[in-house]
Structure 1
Amino acid sequence: MCKQLESDDSYTITTMKVERIYLLFYGISLISACVNAFDPVTTTVAMGIGATLGTIYKYFQESCTPKWIVFNATGLDVDLEKRLFGQHIATRIISKAVNGFLNNDNPKKPLVLSLHGWTGTGKNFVSKMIAENFYKEGMDSSFVHVFTSELHFPHASQIETYKSQLQQWIKGNVTNCPQSMFIFDEMDKMHPGLIDSIKPYLDYYDKLDGVSYRKAIFIFLSNAGGESITQTALEFWKAGRNREEIELADLENKLTLSVFNNKKSGLWHTSLIDKNLVDFFVPFLPLEYKHVVQCALAEMEARDLEPDMSVADQVARDLMYFPKSERVFSVTGCKTIVSKLDYYV
């Protein structure tokens, strides 16, 4: 378990490159010093090179400072508007929640977001957007920690061990950097009650054992609640109403109840809900055909390809939709767009 968790904190590619350069030149300086052992000038130069490279290494090594952690509010808003398709509710909530929290120098508690919806609707994508516009290294930052239930917490018999290790992991990383981000993927597959073990770190405390968690960000990703969200979207569609008319109020109560009462969800009967520690339950609507087309065009642009509507249409047509008779919503959202596009371009 610990080895798996430690893998999340590996060096970034940039840091590894600098480290190799440092070791190379350090080796060269040692050789020069040995060969010219009686040449004080050469020895001094070699030592100077080693010291300089040491300074360069420290300069490129990620640290918990404004040089590496700075919030780009405009960048996040642009990403949400231009790259997240069909999610007017999520776009609005995420923008206000993250902007409000990161522009507050003295938050009263950590930011806790719970993102819900079918696969491929943009939950992981949004998490990535937040990281990219907050940490210079984005998702590769050593201050971003991703937990996947089936990978990091696979055995129900070890739940108590997981709880202890999770607490220690969060405490250690927040001690290292107060502005750490923790992403819990597949919450609907997590052992119920596990998340309750970190409840104290999400609450309104100035400090716990000398550590403040108020500047940390916790993001929960789950398919739980997807059915109720889809049902509401389908009702609007059948009534001939525009999906943009759907408001958070139309989904919030159903979503909270379906998550709280889902025995397979890590949030089942959790005190996080009772204590109102989840700041926002964010619904992600199922994606329609037109949104899949937009995803395909955006992926072409990301690959520096000329956007081709005919190819995007073909990719969208290849996907499965539901209900079967009406074919309104994509079963997999935009999740398989990348592999599908590989086939056509």
Structure 2
Amino acid sequence: MDRGQPSLEPAAPALGPSGPGVIAPVRAVLRLRRRVCVLRKRRLLPPGAGSEPGSGAAGPAQGSAAPRVGLGRPQVFTFDGPAELPARTPRRRRRRSRVVLYPETSRKYQPRAERQSRAQRFLLLLVAIVAFQVLNAIENLDDNALRYDLDGLEKALQRSVFGQPAAVRRIVALLRDYLATHVHSRPLLLALHGPSGVGKSHVGRLLARHFRAVLEDGALVLQYDARHHCPDPRAAQDCREELARRVADVVARAEAEEKTPLLVLDEVELLPPTLLDELLGFLQPQRSRHFHNAIYVLLSGAGGAEVTRFVLQNASRALPLRPDGARGARATAAQAEEELRASLRALLSREHPLWQAAAIVPLLLLDRRDVVSCFRDEMAGEGFFPEQARAERLAARLSYYRVAGREFAVTGCKQVVAQVNLL
């Protein structure tokens, strides 16, 4: 190209004074914007996720690993690197105790108090059941005793047996206790002791008559007299077999009818020792069950001398005991009769062990007033008018022990029947 000719190429645009100075800040702003966008995306990612691939963010911290930010812990954006950020320990949440809330309309019970209330209810129920059973048992006992009409028996004995109020009460009390139930572990053995004429045989006859009436079966009452059923002592073995057979028949029949039989044995002091052994065998627990449900009444004159001696020595102690006596005199007489029973048991036990198992009832001597009552009763029974003066004249013919201003009949009412027959 010649220098003289003008140039045909376009001329380069001239750069203004602000051209290169504006582009550099714009590029810095764009880089900062892209980095802020990347950091915002990483913050929204779950922990463990890597950085977004293909991101063209440039900068000094582009090649290093960015800190992982959890979703639960917000962090403030800084330009510090991950090594310069302090490590923060997570806070432990305190466990709050759960409070049991009860509705306002319901009753609040503690568990222990509720268990105690249930136990109290069961205890009250148990007490009620036991009380009902006891009451039912008492009613059954009364029903069983009413069958034998012991109140009527007591009135009959008090009306017909003179001078023996304490003995009558003891006999009825023993019968009442025994007849309260039908099931027993052993039979009842009553032993009536006293001298002649005090009313032993009379009491036995009254008992037999009463039980025949209430049991409505005469076969359930056995009366055995030593002089009549076993007059010969040499035939003791035969008498023993006969007595065992008769007693077995009576108790077996009574067991079938669910009743308590009565066996009255008079003049027991005349029985041979083999028959006493047989009577003792009836009381043994190894016997059959129907032998345990029976009442034996032994009438014996053994110990009559001891009774006579005791009454004469204690005549000043209000013997015999009367229901109309003073309270102090009655207590003294009761204590004296207890001593008499103890002395009789010790005396009779030396003769035979049968008396050791018996309930001993002593019949005391009769005074003159009781003998007069015997005469009046016998006179009325024979058809005579029971005049008091006449009865006293007849009583004056008998013999008496005179001690401490009192008179006790030697033979009791034994001769009353013979004297009345002479009228």
TM-score norm. by structure 1 comes to 0.68
Contact 2:221 2:250 (8 Å CA) reproduced: no
Contact 1:131 1:139 (8 Å CA) reproduced: no
**Alignment correspondent of 2:151:** 74
Contact 1:70 1:135 (8 Å CA) reproduced: no
Structure-2 change in CA distance of 1:290 and 1:144 (3 Å): same
Q: 2-side partners of 1:162 and 1:86: how far apart?
A: 35
Q: 2:174 aligns with which of 97, 100, 118?
A: 97
Q: 1:86 aligns with which of 145, 163, 171?
A: 163
Structure-2 change in CA distance of 1:152 and 1:326 (3 Å): farther
Q: 1:199 aligns with which of 280, 295, 315?
A: 280
**What are the superposed Cα offsets for residues 38-94 of structure 1, whole Å, 9 maximum, x if unpaired?**
xxxxxxxxxxxxxxxxxxxxxxxxxxxx9xx94121211112222221113311210
Q: What residue identity is the alignment partner of 1:218?
A: Y
Superposition pairs for residues 211-222 of structure 1, below 5 Å? 212-222=290-300
Superposition pairs for residues 234-245 of structure 1, below 5 Å? 234-237=312-315, 240-243=316-319, 244=321, 245=332
Structure-2 change in CA distance of 1:288 and 1:133 (3 Å): same
Q: 2-side partners of 1:228 and 1:246: how far apart?
A: 17
Q: 1:277 aligns with which of 335, 349, 357?
A: 357
RMSD over aligned CA atoms reads 2.8
For CA contacts below 8 A with separation 6 or more, give which structure has more relative contact order.
1
Q: 1-side partners of 2:169 and 2:214: how far apart?
A: 25
**Alignment correspondent of 1:47:** none
TM-score norm. by structure 2 comes to 0.56
Secondary structure in structure 1 of the residue aligned to 2:292: coil
Q: 2:265 aligns with which of 184, 188, 194?
A: 184
**Divergent runs of 4+, >3 A:** 137-140, 300-306, 322-327
**What are the superposed Cα offsets for residues 231-286 of structure 1, whole Å, 9 maximum, x if unpaired?**
1110112xx3311243331201221122233xxxxxx223x24xx431x1010001
Q: 1-side partners of 2:347 and 2:216: how far apart?
A: 30
Contact 1:71 1:135 (8 Å CA) reproduced: no
Structure-2 change in CA distance of 1:305 and 1:234 (3 Å): same
Q: 2-side partners of 1:137 and 1:96: how far apart?
A: 18
**Alignment correspondent of 2:227:** 150
**Alignment correspondent of 1:224:** 302
Structure-2 change in CA distance of 1:303 and 1:85 (3 Å): same
In the alignment, is residue 300 of structure 1 matched against residue 379 of structure 2?
yes
Q: What residue identity is the alignment partner of 1:185?
A: D
Q: 2-side partners of 1:302 and 1:157: how far apart?
A: 40
Secondary structure in structure 1 of the residue aligned to 2:249: helix
Contact 2:312 2:403 (8 Å CA) reproduced: no
Identical aligned pairs, as a percentage?
27
In the alignment, is residue 129 of structure 1 matched against residue 206 of structure 2?
yes
**Alignment correspondent of 1:115:** 192
In the alignment, is residue 290 of structure 1 matched against residue 346 of structure 2?
no
Q: 2-side partners of 1:183 and 1:113: how far apart?
A: 9
Q: 2:237 aligns with which of 150, 156, 160?
A: 160
**What are the superposed Cα offsets for residues 143-192 of structure 1, whole Å, 9 maximum, x if unpaired?**
22222223222333332232222212211222122432221111111112
Q: What residue identity is the alignment partner of 1:184?
A: L
User: Is 221-230 or 324-333 further displaced after alignment?
Assistant: 324-333
In the alignment, is residue 328 of structure 1 matched against residue 407 of structure 2?
yes
Contact 2:147 2:214 (8 Å CA) reproduced: no
Q: 2:333 aligns with which of 246, 255, 265?
A: 246
Contact 2:149 2:214 (8 Å CA) reproduced: no
**Alignment correspondent of 1:343:** 422
- Structure 1: 5+ residue runs without aligned partners? 1-65, 262-267
- Answer with 1 or 2: which has the greater Rg: 2
Secondary structure in structure 2 of the residue aligned to 1:167: helix
Q: 1-side partners of 2:196 and 2:212: how far apart?
A: 26
